[in-house]
Amino acid sequence: MRRGIKLLVMITAVALLLAGFYAYLELTHPRCETVSVFRAKEMIDTDPSLVILDVRTEGEYVEGHIEGAINIPLEELEQRLDELDKERGILVYCRSGVRSERACEMLIEGGFRKVYNMEGGISAWMSAGYPIVARVKRSVIIFIFDHFLNAIYLTDKLSYINPFSGPRYFRWNCFAPF
């Protein structure tokens, strides 16, 4: 009986020691918390001080990003850490979650405490049906402008020609050299 009590006391002491050590590690060595896109959306909606950090390339960022996100590509993050506020929470994302994990490690090493990695990245965000902001590329605008001018020009010359299928010599082309 006494042996059983001694064993129980020893197991309890070891468990308390491990719990204390784990709590110490949590306080002195913060880690990145991985959150789902649903939790990330909730955080964005409820915390106006949250920094949304997109660590993809500028080209990927232009194609579509979360509204209010700032873009610091992973390759530049270490040199640009001073642009971020260490006191605010930071939600990090990339395309699928791999680069954002590395970015979270850099942020933690840089002294940031409240760092969250959005699981699945922008791909999961879009799959969940959440909105993104995308800039229209200049070439798309020029394409639309080109066809608009062709429609005006061709309508002036002929009664009706579809500007997308008319003869090539009738078309004004903004990509042609002047």
Q: Please, are residues 91 and 53 in contact by the beta-carbon 8 Å criterion?
A: yes
Q: Please, are residues 107 and 32 in contact by the beta-carbon 8 Å criterion?
A: yes
Instruction: Say what percent of the chain tops pLDDT 90.
Output: 54
Instruction: Say what percent of the chain tops pLDDT 70.
Output: 69
Alpha-carbon distance of 89 to 70, in angstroms, equals 14
**pTM summary value:** 0.63
Q: Please, are residues 53 and 73 in contact by the beta-carbon 8 Å criterion?
A: no
Alpha-carbon distance of 2 to 29, in angstroms, equals 40
Residue 100 pLDDT greater than 80, yes or no: yes
pLDDT tier at 118 (50, 70, 90 boundaries)? very high
**pLDDT for res 114:** 93
Q: What is the DSSP string of 19-73?
A: HHHHHHHHHHS--PEEE-HHHHHHHHHH-TT-EEEE-S-HHHHHH-B-TT-EE--
Q: Please, are residues 145 and 173 in contact by the beta-carbon 8 Å criterion?
A: no
Q: Please, are residues 34 and 79 in contact by the beta-carbon 8 Å criterion?
A: no
For residues 132 and 164, which has the higher predicted lDDT (pLDDT)? 132
For residues 166 and 66, which has the higher predicted lDDT (pLDDT)? 66
Domain boundaries, given as residue ranges, for the chain: 1-30, 31-127, 138-170
Chain position carrying tokens 């903004």: 174
For residues 121 and 175, which has the higher predicted lDDT (pLDDT)? 121
Chain position carrying tokens 């999961």: 124
What is the tens place of the pLDDT at every residue in 128-163? 999 999 876 555 555 555 555 555 544 444 434 444
pLDDT tier at 174 (50, 70, 90 boundaries)? very low
For domain 31-127, say whether CATH 3.40.250.10 is its number.
Answer: yes
**pLDDT for res 6:** 79
Tallying the residues shown for the chain, one arrives at 178
Chain position carrying tokens 């010359």: 157
Give me the amino acid identity at 121: G
Please list the active-site residues: 94
pLDDT tier at 170 (50, 70, 90 boundaries)? very low
What is the tens place of the pLDDT at every residue in 50-98? 999 999 999 999 999 999 999 999 999 999 999 999 999 999 999 999 9
**pLDDT for res 49:** 95
